[in-house]
Structure 1
């Protein structure tokens, strides 16, 4: 049952979140000094959020949520992981940046499919913004060999959420990367649910949202999932020299009429 798979993911993310945060040093001090974890593409998608209510879905441990709150928004973060939400709540208190965090599977939070849930929650004129690693890039294994189906409607079993923060080094840590947990092995398996760009766009459109922008990027912000990835500036990670450019990340901006 899908609920069983979601529960497996909750346990796997709980374990992985501890490993991820072990590499990030004193995050409360980072925020107290004015730090932000947002990449320029994310800040650009958000625009001016002063005085707006922002719901941050799958907020993980709250770093981006607090960065958005610092821009003047009233932020609620939602995530499936108890560990992530507990950490985010503590980080909000210790950094002095106000935000609210809720532990919930997004499907339980909306009690509907995600696109319809977003559309129902938005006020007229409200916006949905989304940036994610491109599903085309996820067909490769770490050696750039085709391995996974792009058109895959079945959950993909994995050994567990990995320590992609350690694998990316300082790519996903704005400053003060620490070794932290070494050679992390997740004791809990996980399951990947993948959707193509067409499926995502169609779901949002059928939910009544007006798609304003779809952008693709030939790099991945901070993440180094494949061999030979290089920083082309600003922690934008691109394929090795000489490899044809492919979409590694994409973003959507949609509005409720």
Structure 2
């Protein structure tokens, strides 16, 4: 585990989170009027969450956490970014949707929650989470340990095959890469994705954002993810791939094919840009 790189990422996310939320307008009003940031894929995988204890790992600024809480779940959101958790806590209060938020490195949270005896019906995480994890096997074990017997893990992520391309769709990065990849810092991808990530309309917000803090990303293939979860004792009962990415315009000329699903330009072959899986912890 590379905690010094996690700390660098925390600083980078703190800076980026301010820029991201500057483009989202009055989010409290959005939620008070019944808004939700969940896509159809998450809603289908989550199913009926009424009364369920849900742990949302790497919850960012809490918008998806509150969307799940509105469905009747008791939600705990965890994120490494101080700015994200402060924003999520404030948004919960201002929107009137109850949820608990805790700032923590996910690995520290696994240790502390295990010591407190916490267990959840559902562990959930989505979109751009795995690339910040320096130890995939410890992550998988942590997820499994915090699930109740019969509890479910629900996961949606951008496909690692898409991560081999640069913004112009040229092959650039290794799919198999055991070395952390240094980046210029977490970008203002919310501004770049425009309406894709702001369902109620994008506000101008911060312009020309340049992150002063570098970041470090880790590459994990689909096989590594599945193997890690199975070795941690979870049983995978669903795995799906999608030829689009929800909300995120990561590459040039991406187009909305409906429902804020962003696909490659029509002159390029369809490739997997996103995947999901659902797993459960067998009864003892």
Which of 184, 192, 195 is 1:159 aligned to?
184
In structure 2, how many angstroms separate the alpha carbons of the residues matched to 1:49 and 1:233?
26
In structure 1, how many angstroms separate the alpha carbons of the residues matched to 2:236 and 2:6?
29
In structure 1, how many angstroms separate the alpha carbons of the residues matched to 2:194 and 2:222?
28
TM-score normalised according to structure 1 size: 0.99
Determine if the alignment matches structure 1 residue 211 to structure 2 residue 236: yes
2:222 corresponds to: 197
Determine if the alignment matches structure 1 residue 126 to structure 2 residue 144: no
In structure 2, how many angstroms separate the alpha carbons of the residues matched to 1:118 and 1:171?
29
In structure 1, how many angstroms separate the alpha carbons of the residues matched to 2:205 and 2:217?
26
- The ranges of structure 1 where at least 4 consecutive aligned residues each deviate by more than 6 angstroms after the TM superposition are none
2:48 corresponds to: 48
User: What secondary structure sits across from 1:123 in the alignment?
Assistant: strand
State how 1:155-194 maps to structure 2 within 5 Å.
155-194=180-219
Structure 1 gap segments, 5+ residues each:
none
Which of 251, 258, 262 is 1:226 aligned to?
251
State how 1:237-252 maps to structure 2 within 5 Å.
237-252=262-277
State how 1:54-73 maps to structure 2 within 5 Å.
54-73=54-73
2:120 corresponds to: none
State how 1:15-94 maps to structure 2 within 5 Å.
15-94=15-94
User: After alignment, is 15-24 or 107-116 more displaced?
Assistant: 107-116
In structure 2, how many angstroms separate the alpha carbons of the residues matched to 1:105 and 1:166?
26
In structure 2, how many angstroms separate the alpha carbons of the residues matched to 1:52 and 1:10?
29
- Say what the alpha-carbon RMSD is for the aligned residues: 0.9
In structure 2, how many angstroms separate the alpha carbons of the residues matched to 1:105 and 1:44?
28
User: After alignment, is 105-114 or 56-65 more displaced?
Assistant: 105-114
1:115 corresponds to: 140
In structure 2, how many angstroms separate the alpha carbons of the residues matched to 1:216 and 1:254?
15
Q: Deviations over 1:83-135 (max 9, x none)?
A: 00000000000000000000001011113811111111101110000001000
Structure 2 gap segments, 5+ residues each:
112-136
TM-score normalised according to structure 2 size: 0.89
User: What secondary structure sits across from 1:177 in the alignment?
Assistant: coil
